[in-house]
Amino acid sequence: MAMQTNQKQSIAARWENYQPTKSTLVWTCVGTAVATMIVGFSWGGWVTGGTSQELALTAGDVARGQLASTICVERFNAAPDAAAKLTELKAKTAGYDRQKFVETGGWATMPGETSPDRRASVGCATALGA
């Protein structure tokens, strides 16, 4: 009977001699793919197509509102009685009253529109009231 050697093999030698089964390789690949997706969606900032579309629409709405409020402020300041109207606007304490004042004055109604833009009136009243 041959005598077995009880020598420890190095990691490199064990790696060289290792021969995984096909099922071990498949499950390793599946586990790696799942772990990659979990890390990507949790911490990597990945989003689905639906989420990215919602974010793009929201960003577009916010940008249009900011542009409309900037136009509203410019139109307000270009009015001949801007100083008197600004004093009147600042006399109103409630944000809703300021918003209605801007809407009633017509400064929040964008060219080509028939009704005032809500985002424009809110942003304009906030900017002018500051």
pTM score, two decimals? 0.61
Which residue carries 């990215």 as its tokens? Answer: 52
What pLDDT score does 1 carry? 47
Res. 121 pLDDT band, cuts 50 70 90: confident
Question: Bigger pLDDT: 99 or 1?
Answer: 99
- Considering the chain, what is the average pLDDT of its residues? 87
Tokens of 23: 């099922």
Task: Look at residue 80 and tell me whether its pLDDT is greater than 90.
Answer: no
Res. 5 pLDDT band, cuts 50 70 90: low
Mean pLDDT calculated for residue range 87-110:
84
What pLDDT score does 50 carry? 93
Task: Look at residue 115 and tell me whether its pLDDT is greater than 50.
Answer: yes
Task: Look at residue 63 and tell me whether its pLDDT is greater than 50.
Answer: yes
Shortest CA distance to 127 belongs to which of 63, 59, 60, 66?
66
